[in-house]
Chains A and B, each alone.
Chain A
């Protein structure tokens, strides 16, 4: 049963464009995350939010910015994409810190 929703599924764009990915969870969780999975399939945390507050901000380029309107939504905006941004971006949520995380299906980004 899908409870973490991501849109779009797939996005192709050109270098320098701006893209925005959406994530919504219907589990009532208070913490949400963005991960990046690169071409070698390694998953790395980018950001995490607890009740709309940023709690983890890994070393990611400044062109990446998370946006949270409420605890059920965490969007990711990338200004001026670069080829190395091509990856799968996975959104996740959990009840509290250190509880089981539930993942969305991912958004695959291809930068030409």
Chain B
């Protein structure tokens, strides 16, 4: 089945620094989503990006489909960005489901 690897597993930054998170997956993805999970546990969709580059606010995601990888760039990090960033892949078909990576725990210090 689909496997999703995220790196790094954790990252500590000072406020204002940029973050680069990586997601690699084992088979072709028809859907790719980046999620943010707050320390309290709620899950929020950040970007849906199965191919190419997408921007929203301080976030930029670049997915290279044929290389089975995606990145999430966070510019000018803020303490409120602290939390876990999850990459999730769907391989399509009638048996649609998202397979999640284990996440990157980001800590932004003042």
Contacts and interface: CB of A to CB of B under 8 A. Distances in A.
Given A40-B102, A41-B103, A101-B33, A88 B41 contact: yes
A58 B96 CA distance: 11
A48 interface: yes
B97 A48 contact: yes
Chain A facing B: main interface SS: strand
Interface residues of B, number: 25
Contact of B95 (A40, A56, A90): A56
B11 to A, nearest CB: 15
A41 B84 contact: yes
Nearest to B91: A98
Contacts of B48: 99-100
A58 B86 CA distance: 20
